[in-house]
Structure 1
Amino acid sequence: MRDLNKKTKFAKKSKAQINMFLFNSEKLQPFDVILVRFPGDPLSEDIRKKCHSQFSHAIIYIGDNSFIEGNVPVVGLFSTHRYHFKDLENVRVIRLKEEHRSNFDLLKAEEFLRSLSYCDYNLRQLAGIYNRSLSTDVIDLFHAEKRWVSGIVCTSMVTLPYYIGGIDISTNNEPYYAHFGYIENSHFFEEVTNEVFIEEEREILNNYDYLSMCETGSLLEKQSEAVRELNTLVKKVFAELETNIAEYEIFGLTRASLWFNNWEDVFRVLPFLFETEKGKEIDQRVYDTIISTGYNNLWFEEVHSHHQTFFPLHHLQIAVAHRGLVQSLQHYQFHIKALEKSYERASKNEDTVFQNFTVCPCKSNHVLLDMYNCYADILRSTITQYQEICKNYDALVNSH
């Protein structure tokens, strides 16, 4: 388990080279599980002891250089650039064995896992797992509707999606109670640690050792902070509505409507209340928080902080003109596949928000619609650039 709110100061270091282990995206496979321990961290040691495991944190690779990882306060999406290790002593990567893959529905598992993005990452959930005391309503809803509405911890982020995909790590239809001991010792997995890492020499000041738990100032940390505020707001709103539920039942609102997973659950409630004063007040509060946290502009920072990725034609032309480094054709072909999947997801999000906006034309829906629309446009432009480069690679590279 990992807490991004834990502050660790960077020590002053001279600029030097050091060997670091990084993930090789060509070797990773979707739903590989990364297990980590943090030596000397009391919470990590306590979890390992209680679970009879060597590890206390889990991360899942979902493809396209992307990982889903839970950090207090929310579950987030991260890229391979986040994960630098000085050695492999405290990390292990496990993979579903080939003989079990025919029983695993990867698409169903991925869809469920992505539904946990921005979910409330709540370490108090550990007590419910250890004591086997999770809410029966939550468990019944999971089995009936394949939906999780309670706080999440990193073991559940592994065991619940795998269960939805057809692999029961708990072996007794209770994936929400399976912990690190189950995962580490499961007969479903094999270790592939040495296969998925590469060792590279990097400058210390330009890199981040994952185990140090230092803040990096990355886009995804900013995203987590924004979602933390949005989650806090919506939980407060739901508590207000539940206190006065009798007043809103006439509009079709029920207590079940107020089960909280993440802040986007508010868009399930707003259509009932939007024409009321309370509904308009909620919409304004959500909209104000989206704007004040800058959540709607984080995609813009992502694009311009990874300029070479999103504007490859521009940078290729500069490299050719100045006889700089030109990437291989395979490099550009690889990015097309990854970006096409990102575009597919962005377009799907845009369509979903558009449908919601049509039913409930509120300000908070509107600003999200603009965000997804702009991001999808940029991705479409980027893919076109990569396709142009691949189509005319030899001519472009030899143009000077």
Structure 2
Amino acid sequence: MLRPIITLLCLTLMLCTAAGPAGATRIKDIARLQGVRSNQLVGYGLVVGLNGSGDSDSTAFTVRSLVNMMERLGVTVDVNDVKVDNVAAVIVTAELPAFSKTGSTIDVLVSSIGDADSLVGGSLLMTPLKGADGKIYAVAQGPLAVGALAFGGKAATVQKNHPTVGRIPGGALVEREVPFRLTPGAELHYQLTNPDFTTVTRMAQAINKHFQKTLARAEDSGSLKITIPEDQQNEPIHFIADLESLNIRPDSMARIVVNEKTGTIVMGEDVRIATVAVSHGNLNLIISENDQVSQPLPFSEGETVVVPDTSMEVSEDNGNLVVMEMGVSIGDVARALNAIGATPRDLIAIFQAIKAAGALHAELVVL
């Protein structure tokens, strides 16, 4: 009877240990090794096979590009005889990840730069992709996945999503590698995605506690220097993998982000406000107009006239005054503002007013 209970307790302890502390995040998700980064690529190309939705004849660079391509393929054409409504000039962009090897594939984004109506059904011709140094690192080609549609005539059009931008998953082959390798050494430098003194301190403490040595030292709020143990300096890969799997609880500033265009509000859990009273009320003005017909009596030689009848109604909702105490949490703030019937648009104005009153202990970011 005792053995099943002990087994159950051991399994519970293992699950709790594996889950890690609440709100914990791996180091690899909030920091990156200095020097390990992606590189942006760009190229100019042509998309062919469009069903009359390509660039118009007035797009001179598309016509010239098509003529030059045909001449490179051994076909001589006259510029005046070229119609490009099935062809579109595009800019192709991609990101070359770190440690990408020759022959691997990467995704590309294709964007129209002419007056094409849609890239649906098109195929990208061979397009070299260059880096900032002007060298070719990849070559893209293949059919586009647009995920949109656009149809119409002279009087009406129907459009869904954005038809002049498409993607080609795995559409580019890497032809040149970016020279980078982890050289044997004694130190590693990590950079935090969101610099914070508390987070970088917790990282250093977690690393030193795990390896039971003083290996990590915070240089500032955004960088951490780590000394590789002597027995792992020749092969730092295993040390980095063990290091980046450690869990810590990142910290951040209290922040409220509002987007007035969409009415979106995002609030962090550490948002606090001082004691403040918030009142909310709406003034509604309703004006309606109905036409009344005035009909004269028979044989009175009068005229039938239309007399407008205008009515106006003014109503104002009851203003609810809600008092929020000092240091309330984000849940209390949400419940209090919902109690007065505030819409997302109203919440934005309320937060701006609380910030102006000096009662909001958080950063207010307006997009």
TM-score by length of 1: 0.19
Q: Which has the larger radius of gyration?
A: 2
TM-score by length of 2: 0.20
The structure whose residues are more often strand, as a share, is: 2
Which structure ranks higher in relative contact order (CA pairs < 8 Å, sequence separation ≥ 6)?
1
